[in-house]
Structure 1
Amino acid sequence: MVVAITYDKETGNVGQHFGHADFFKLYEIENGRIMDSAVVAPFGQGHEAVASTMDDYSVSLVICQNIGDGAMQALSAYGIAVCPNVEGLADDAIEAFMQGSLLIENAPNCDCDHGAGSCCGGESSCGSTCGGCCH
């Protein structure tokens, strides 16, 4: 099983936004153990490109902080489950998943203010083409 976590390379933390993630840390898990891990960049920005990247790496589960409905739909189309609302170190998150203490919710969670100064930086009219959230 391959699990991808949105990744902040500078801090090692779970990254904030799925669709705008610069990096993902991939973990290959077998028999309850981490067999391998690697940090990869998505093949583009936006939920469609990032979801396609997850499919290319045979990801079964994405762990992230924030994710919108458009991104959830894109991942769902590839059969990829999502565990949102996760903060802290990525390595701690994968351990929590393996211990069964993270919930797979498969539901969007967007708590950003989509007005001026939103997480989109004002570049997107959220709600029009991105499923209600820019993640």
Structure 2
Amino acid sequence: MKIAIASEGLNVSGHFGHCPFFTVYEVENKDIKNKIELENPGHKPGALPVFLKENGVDVIVSGGMGAHAIEIFNENNIEVITGATGSIEENVKLYIDGKLESSGSVCHNHEHSHECGNH
């Protein structure tokens, strides 16, 4: 399984579309086997879910995300976790342990993307 976390430095980004990169963890039997960073190729409507699917991602973790992106991820059988905050390392461990749940945070105003995780 591959878990992508919208990343800004060492923390989860407030909005997946505007993050500088995605930290992708490859997990097998609850063990992290590999970690890579994928540079965000740019925020174009509908493009990032396809980009992450092409990179084998099964789960996306972010602070917030627009409803259209959530819909496209769902169509591509990628689990969406929104409402995440703090350390990317801590969030991936919580997910692996089954303790990270989506808050259902949906961004409605992209001009204030840094606030999306707080909706």
TM-score, normalised relative to structure 2: 0.85
Q: Secondary structure at the match of 2:11?
A: coil
CA-to-partner distance for each residue in 1:83-135, whole Å, 9 max, x for gaps?
11000000000011111111246x4523x6x4xx9316xxxxxxxxxxxxxxx
Structure 2: any 5+ residue segments left out of the alignment? 114-119
Q: Give the number of the structure whose residues are more often strand, by fraction.
A: 2
Alignment map for 1:6-17 (pairs within 5 Å): 6-9=6-9, 12-17=10-15
Instruction: Determine which of 88, 99, 102 is the counterpart of 2:100.
Output: 102
Structure 1: any 5+ residue segments left out of the alignment? 121-135
- For 1:5, the aligned partner's letter is I
The aligned residue for residue 75 of structure 1 is 73
**C-alpha contact 2:65 2:105 (8 A) present in aligned 1:** yes
User: 1:77/1:62 Cα in 2 relative to 1: closer, same or farther (>3 Å)?
Assistant: same
Question: How many matched pairs?
Answer: 113
The aligned residue for residue 60 of structure 2 is 62
1:49 maps to 2:37: no
Q: Secondary structure at the match of 1:119?
A: helix
Q: Secondary structure at the match of 2:99?
A: coil
Larger relative contact order (C-alpha < 8 A, sep ≥ 6)? 2
Give me the CA root mean square deviation. 1.9
Q: Supply the distance in 1 between the matched residues of 2:20 and 2:45 (Cα, whole angstroms).
A: 12
Q: Secondary structure at the match of 2:12?
A: coil
**C-alpha contact 2:24 2:38 (8 A) present in aligned 1:** yes
Q: Secondary structure at the match of 1:39?
A: strand
1:19 maps to 2:12: no
Q: Supply the distance in 2 between the matched residues of 1:4 and 1:46 (Cα, whole angstroms).
A: 18
Q: Give the number of the structure whose residues are more often helix, by fraction.
A: 2
Question: Sequence identity, in percent?
Answer: 24
